């Protein structure tokens, strides 16, 4: 091979390396957030106490406070992106949000699409209904209709536990709750913490615990491959655990201090 060809190949290799490096830089979401000075955080607007709209039309809740703490720690402005449960991963994958803090629990299917942080809150999922229904497990469901928000962990878990059940899948959490409150469904599959809030606001409706679906710690999620951002988030969660801020959020929004440390992911 002649010297000219060798120099041409070397130049081509150098250009390829430069373009690859530029591509890697563009793919670093943490660097992108810092450069723009804004972090776009995906949250719920219909799942109290994690994220809901108050009387002043402002978002509030556990996840909202955590998002504010994260933006402050990053030293950037916060942009809240309100979505229904089924849109959390699509918004991340289409770059409509940088980080998801909308109470997402782990499933193998989701873990093929996004990366999970260490857990930041501990909750559980269950089926609830009136005292008159003698239901202790999936085998007792019969023809009773169960309302659930489409795409949530409770939807996935309930479908696996009771494949023959009459499951009423609604577009978001607010719709599934309304279906139960209005009598369109006899049962409701939901997060136990959410149901505590529902019972307070709807004293004339019964929310008796029927059976557990699974434990469901909440995690922050990011797009697959965003290792730098995920490492920063895990460090942030660890710091907020050490300084007591996560415990304070549990006390403020979930009704009490954590009795034990959350297990590592």
Cβ proximity of 42 and 102 under 8 Å? yes
Residue 132 lies in a domain: yes
pLDDT of residue 255: 73
List the one residue out of 241, 235, 230 whose CA is nearest residue 263. 241
pLDDT of residue 245: 93
CB atoms closer than 10 angstroms to residue 134: 7
Residue 262 lies in a domain: no
Q: Average pLDDT across each block of 10 residues of the chain; the chain has 265 residues. List them in order.
A: 52 51 63 98 93 94 97 98 94 97 92 95 92 94 95 92 94 94 96 88 94 92 97 96 91 67 48
Using the structure block, give the residue that is written with the tokens 């002043």.
Answer: 56
Kindly report the pTM of this predicted structure.
0.77
The boundaries of the domain holding residue 148 are 124-215
The alpha carbon dihedral of 34, 37, 42, 43 has a sign of positive
| CATH value at residue 144 | 3.40.190.10
pLDDT of residue 19: 47
- Considering the domain architecture, whether residues 52 and 181 belong to the same structural domain is answered as no
pLDDT of residue 259: 43
Residue 73 lies in a domain: yes
pLDDT tens column, 168-187: 999 999 999 999 999 999 99
Total domains in the chain come to: 2
pLDDT of residue 129: 96
- Considering the domain architecture, whether residues 138 and 69 belong to the same structural domain is answered as no
242 phi and psi, to 5 degrees? -65, -40
pLDDT of residue 15: 52
CA distance 220 to 229: 11
90, two tokens = 């699509």
Residue 103 lies in a domain: yes
Q: How far apart are the first and last CA of the chain?
A: 54
- Considering the domain architecture, whether residues 132 and 245 belong to the same structural domain is answered as no
pLDDT tens column, 63-85: 999 999 999 999 999 999 999 98
């Amino acid at each position: 091979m002649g010297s000219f060809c060798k120099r041409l190949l070397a130049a081509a290799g150098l250009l390829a390396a430069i373009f690859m490096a530029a591509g890697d830089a563009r793919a670093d979401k943490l660097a992108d957030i810092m450069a723009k000075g804004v972090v776009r955080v995906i949250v719920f607007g219909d799942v109290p106490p994690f994220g809901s709209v108050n009387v002043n039309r402002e978002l509030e809740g556990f996840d909202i406070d955590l998002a504010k703490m994260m933006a402050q720690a990053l030293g950037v402005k916060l942009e809240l992106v309100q979505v229904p449960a089924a849109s959390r991963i699509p918004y991340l994958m289409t770059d409509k949000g940088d980080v998801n803090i909308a109470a997402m629990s782990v499933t193998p299917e989701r873990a093929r699409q996004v990366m999970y942080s260490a857990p930041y809150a501990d909750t559980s999922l269950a089926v609830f209904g009136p005292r008159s229904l003698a239901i202790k497990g999936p085998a007792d469901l019969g023809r009773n209709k169960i309302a659930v928000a489409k795409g949530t962990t409770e939807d996935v878990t309930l479908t696996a536990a009771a494949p023959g059940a009459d499951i009423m899948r609604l577009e978001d959490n607010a719709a599934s709750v309304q279906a139960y409150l209005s009598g369109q469904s006899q049962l409701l599959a939901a997060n136990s913490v959410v149901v505590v809030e529902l019972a307070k606001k709807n004293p004339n409706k019964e929310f008796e615990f029927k059976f557990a679906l699974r434990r469901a710690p909440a995690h922050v999620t990011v797009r697959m491959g965003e290792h730098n951002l995920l490492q920063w988030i895990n460090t942030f969660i660890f710091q907020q655990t050490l300084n007591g801020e996560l415990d304070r959020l549990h006390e403020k929004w979930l009704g009490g201090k954590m009795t034990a440390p959350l297990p590592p992911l």
